[in-house]
Amino acid sequence: MSEVQSTFRLKPGVQVPDFSLPDAYGKIFTRAELTGGNGLLVVFACNHCPYVVHLATALGEVAREIELLGVRTVAINSNDTEQYPEDGPEPMKTFAASHRWDFPYLIDATQEVAIAYDAACTPDFFLADGTGRLVYSGQFDHTRPRSGQAADGGDLREAVRRMLAGEQPLARPYPSSGCNIKWKPGSKPR
């Protein structure tokens, strides 16, 4: 089983990094074009991590809800697909469809975007406002695989609500937890 990681590094108020990445069909997407009028949720994900599998369907639901509020969603797969072929482009298509991910699911083959975001695990969540400033980096909700509880996105929903209401972000959000990103040899950040 993969080593479990927790992340919490980028600070609210910083500009989130730009990217230009392909999806599993080869279409290129940029952060600028994906950002909705009120923001963008960037999720680092993969197909095989039990933490992602646990919340994948709920993530699709939350993404549809927040898109109606002007906040779009994108998932980015930064795993080494040579070592983890189950995270490759063809399985990504099936995974996204089976969980009703109506948002782009992109491939970070160089892992440069994961490094730029300081992403460390899957899933890892970064919510930016319409200007591209980070307002939330934390967990989807309090549930975990094998907890017996269904994922509902409670923490993320509250972060979106606060952002749209112009309220202060959560003072100390609980960091994301999941499987470590599967780094290519020599790519793992310090």
pLDDT in tens, 121-169: 999 999 999 999 999 999 999 999 999 999 999 999 999 999 999 999 8
Residue range 66-87, pLDDT digits in tens: 999 999 999 999 999 999 999 9
Residue 5 has pLDDT above 70, yes or no: no
Residue 51 has pLDDT above 90, yes or no: yes
| pLDDT value at residue 130 | 97
Question: Distance from CA of residue 38 to its chain's centroid?
Answer: 17
Classify 27 as helix, strand or coil: coil
153 Ramachandran zone, left/alpha/beta (phi>0; psi -120 to 50)? left
| pLDDT value at residue 152 | 96
Domains with residue ranges and CATH for the chain: 4-180 (3.40.30.10)
Q: Tokens 């967990």 label which residue?
A: 139
Structure tokens belonging to residue 144: 């975990």
Residue range 84-116, pLDDT digits in tens: 999 999 999 999 999 999 999 999 999 999 999
The residue-averaged pLDDT of 34-39 equals: 98
The residue-averaged pLDDT of 35-53 equals: 97
The residue-averaged pLDDT of 58-62 equals: 98
Tell me how far apart the alpha carbons of residues 57 and 34 are, in angstroms, rounded to a whole number.
Answer: 21
Residue 3 has pLDDT above 60, yes or no: no
Residue 9 has pLDDT above 80, yes or no: no
Going by C-alpha positions, the residue among 83, 86, 114, 92 that lies closest to residue 26 is 92
Exposure of 53 by Cβ count < 10 A (0-12 exposed, 13-18 middle, 19+ buried)?
middle
Q: Are 179 and 122 in contact (CB under 8 A)?
A: yes
Q: Are β-strands 124-129 and 39-44 bridged in parallel, bridged antiparallel, or unpaired? A: antiparallel
Q: pLDDT-based confidence at 7, cuts 50/70/90?
A: very low
Ordered DSSP codes for 124-181: EEEEEETTSBEEEEE-S-S--TTSS-----HHHHHHHHHHHHTPPPPSSPPPPEEEEP
| pLDDT value at residue 1 | 34
Q: Which residues pair with 164 in a beta bridge?
A: none
Residue 4 has pLDDT above 70, yes or no: no
Q: Tokens 């369907």 label which residue?
A: 57
The sign one gets for the Cα dihedral 134, 165, 76, 23 is negative
